[in-house]
Amino acid sequence: MSNQTKIAAIIGGGVIGGGWVARFLLAGWDVNLFDPDPEAPRKVGEVLDHARRSLPALYDVKLPDEGQLTFASSIKEAVSDASWIQESVPERLDIKHWTFAEIQAHCAQDALIGSSTSGFKPSELSSESENKSAIFVAHPFNPVYLVPVVELVGDADTLDRASDILDQILMKPIKVKKEIDAHVADRLLEAVWREALWLVNDDIATTEEIDDIIRYGFGLRWAQMGLFETYRIAGGEAGMAHFIEQFGPCLKWPWTKLMDVPDLTDELVDKIASQSDKQSGKHSIRALEQIRDNNLVAMMRALKTQNWGAGALLNYADKQLKSAIPSNAGEQLETVRRVVPVDWTDYNGHMNEGRYGQVFSDAADFIIEFIGADEDYIKSGLSYFTAETNTNFLQECHAGDEFYVQTGVLLAEGKKLKLLHEMKSADGETLATCTQFLLHVDLNTRKSCPPEAHILKNLEALRSNYAVADEQGEA
Ligand SMILES: NC(=O)c1ccc[n+]([C@@H]2O[C@H](COP(=O)([O-])OP(=O)(O)OC[C@H]3O[C@@H](n4cnc5c(N)ncnc54)[C@H](O)[C@@H]3O)[C@@H](O)[C@H]2O)c1
């Protein structure tokens, strides 16, 4: 093994292990999975179906080609060539210790060994290991293939190496400064969960009412600004100090039950379960997962337009992914390749016509950059405007469908550029075509003008390599 291998071993393929499998595979890594449950391939297959439909839809460029999934018959077989090993077995220290011993008996000395544990500290996880610093906490959130954050706890050098790999698989590592039980997120979530159990127990609110208070209320704020930034604003112009001055005393009032936990009696469990059935029982768990995934994709894509929080991370990833696309010198120029995001579909259940405009505009942007009319050229006051488009919609496409666009040149002469975009399904069927007429413009006068000499030269090369004829046979 070496740090260069893009092979991950996932030990335990349940809810979380399955999510890690999808996260690595869709980032182009090969994955070896070991799970003794004979149902594991089916369960992981279902998680992968969800992930393939939703994760690529977060990005506006193509993800790397999917890696290869292998079902290993032992931990030894799974870990021997892996550079990242992710333990995701049940939350019991004895099972985890046994698993780490088996992993470390067969993995490379420098392999990274992350644990998905929700609560154990690295010192507890590695207490029986001779190579303790290789084992660290890499605590993800469900669904691992969509939620980017991973809490890292452990040896500083190991965490630096782990962060690099998590960046590569488009996640957001956060290093926790000191080990504590349950890291950071589960500390916060336990506090909220404890209060929620009391509120149901004491008949203050039902499960649905509590969920509504979160999803119509502070949950919206949390998703984009978290806790401290939200409270800073709540302090008004005087900011955080004023907020603490105003609400600080309430912390000592009996607003919370603090460490008291309601007894999870049969009666309370039945009450919560029946309220939850009434609230959500009309959906299967798989259907709820799909609803959750669609909502997460739509929310993160909305944050992308604001370049904020999880959306800013996606924009950064788009740039990285774009720069990794190999230069495009084949017979036909591929200008877009991506998946239809869920928020591009409409009441007819297919991609909305307005989004075709966006696809073909993205294809034209590719061409404009390709001929050298880049950010600096535009800053210098020269650019292209679209003067006319004509789109033919030939086949439907739906959320999660992969498609690509090939662009040919109908005319490239002085300030005039006419393109033919063909949008095709992953198996090559034409979905739509668009002819687009663009004019080179001076951004100061807002009038058309000839491009600079180097652009004209590139345009000539573009035309000679990628000229096509339109339906009337005009080139
Ligand atoms: N479920 C969550 O929301 C969540 C979130 C973050 C972290 N975690 C943590 O992730 C870990 C896994 O939790 P989960 O929810 O995926 O549990 P799970 O019960 O869904 O999956 C555990 C899997 O481990 C397999 N397994 C059992 N013994 C094994 C062994 N010896 N070797 C290999 N596989 C074995 C089981 O067959 C099962 O498929 C736990 O440490 C948990 O605390 C869970």
Region 7-182: CATH code: 3.40.50.720
pLDDT at 251: 77
Q: State in Å: Cα 93 to ligand 1 middle.
A: 12
Mean pLDDT of the chain: 93
pLDDT digits (tens, 9 = 90+) for 350-364: 999 999 999 999 999
* Residue of 10, 35, 193 with the most ligand 1 atoms within 8 Å of its CB, for mutation: 35
Higher per-residue confidence, 68 vs 474: 68
Grade residue 1 by pLDDT with cuts at 50, 70 and 90: very low
Q: Which fold has domain 186-282?
A: N-(1-d-carboxylethyl)-l-norvaline Dehydrogenase; domain 2 (1.10.1040)
CATH class in words for 327-466: alpha beta
Checking if the pLDDT of 330 tops 70, the result is: no
Ligand 1 contacts CB of residue 37 (under 6 A)? yes
Checking if the pLDDT of 327 tops 70, the result is: no
Q: State in Å: Cα 332 to ligand 1 middle.
A: 46
Q: What is the mean pLDDT of residues 61-73?
A: 94
Q: What is the mean pLDDT of residues 295-323?
A: 93
Q: What is the mean pLDDT of residues 201-218?
A: 97
Q: What percent of the chain has a predicted confidence (pLDDT) above 90?
A: 84
Q: State in Å: Cα 288 to ligand 1 middle.
A: 20
pLDDT at 2: 43
Ligand 1 contacts CB of residue 36 (under 6 A)? yes
pLDDT at 248: 80
Ligand 1 contacts CB of residue 14 (under 6 A)? yes
Ligand 1 contacts CB of residue 116 (under 6 A)? yes
pLDDT digits (tens, 9 = 90+) for 431-445: 999 999 999 999 999
Ligand 1 contacts CB of residue 189 (under 6 A)? no
* Residue of 37, 73, 89, 116 with the most ligand 1 atoms within 8 Å of its CB, for mutation: 89
Q: Picking from 52-56, 245-249, 388-392, which range would have the lowest pLDDT averaged per residue?
A: 245-249
Ligand 1 contacts CB of residue 69 (under 6 A)? no
Q: Picking from 123-137, 183-197, 322-336, which range would have the lowest pLDDT averaged per residue?
A: 322-336
pLDDT digits (tens, 9 = 90+) for 213-271: 999 999 999 999 999 999 888 888 888 888 888 888 877 777 766 678 889 999 999 99
Give the residue, by CA position, lying nearest to ligand 1 atom 3. 142
Ligand 1 contacts CB of residue 118 (under 6 A)? yes
Structural domain boundaries of the chain? 7-182, 186-282, 327-466
Q: State in Å: Cα 138 to ligand 1 middle.
A: 13
Residue 59 · residue 22 · CB < 8 Å: no
